[in-house]
């Protein structure tokens, strides 16, 4: 189940539920190194994978974007969920491009993504049930572990 939050009037992806308990659930945040999100650059429609490096203070990384679209990308471009694979609803904001690196030895770009959510300031999250979309969204106070 996707986990979302609203900060400053902006909805953004927090992560996904990985374990469900009686009164609590365990959420894997998108900055976790084991979390991969199929994502799309909103203006070019190119699809890649967003992962974290394990720290909420570091930017996320988007990979598998071909070098041929380099001239179409700009710092500040919005990155959203693609909806591919059925794990996340499409078009949920993840972050914006903060840096674009061209690596000589790689056919893809290395794109740093600044998350739209400040993970140190999350107070409440929204858990979305994709099977009951529209009726399965509930708000829960966030508890950091």
- CA dist., res. 9 & res. 123, Å (int): 14
The pLDDT value given to residue 87 = 79
- Give 52-55 contacts, CB < 8 A, sequence gap 24+: 55/31
4-13 residue pLDDT tens: 999 999 999 9
**pLDDT of 54 higher than 70:** yes
pTM of the predicted model as reported, rounded to 2 decimal places: 0.84
- CA dist., res. 23 & res. 2, Å (int): 18
**Confidence class of residue 137 from pLDDT cuts 50, 70 and 90?**
very low
Give the tokens for residue 44. Answer: 């070019």
Burial class for 90, CB neighbours closer than 10 Å (0-12, 13-18, 19+): exposed
- CA dist., res. 129 & res. 102, Å (int): 38
- CA dist., res. 51 & res. 35, Å (int): 6
**Confidence class of residue 133 from pLDDT cuts 50, 70 and 90?**
low
Nearest by Cα to 79 from 66, 102, 107, 98 = 98
Supply φ then ψ for residue 44, to 5 degrees.
Answer: -100, -15
**pLDDT of 79 higher than 80:** yes
Nearest by Cα to 56 from 132, 115, 106, 131 = 115
Nearest by Cα to 65 from 100, 33, 34 = 100
Strands (E), 21-86: 25-29, 36-41, 47-51, 60-66, 78-81
């Amino acid at each position: 189940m996707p986990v979302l939050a609203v900060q400053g009037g902006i909805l953004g992806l927090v992560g996904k539920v990985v374990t469900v308990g009686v009164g609590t659930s365990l959420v894997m945040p998108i900055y976790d190194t084991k979390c991969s999100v199929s994502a799309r650059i909103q203006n070019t429609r190119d699809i890649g994978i967003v992962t974290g490096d394990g720290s909420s203070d570091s930017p996320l990384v988007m990979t598998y974007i071909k070098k041929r679209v380099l001239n179409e990308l700009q710092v500040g471009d919005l990155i959203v969920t693609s909806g591919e694979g059925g794990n996340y609803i499409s078009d949920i904001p993840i972050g914006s491009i903060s840096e674009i690196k061209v690596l000589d030895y790689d056919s893809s770009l290395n794109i740093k993504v600044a998350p739209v959510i400040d993970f140190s300031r999350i107070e409440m999250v929204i858990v979305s049930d994709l099977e009951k979309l529209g009726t399965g969204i509930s708000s829960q106070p966030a508890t950091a572990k």
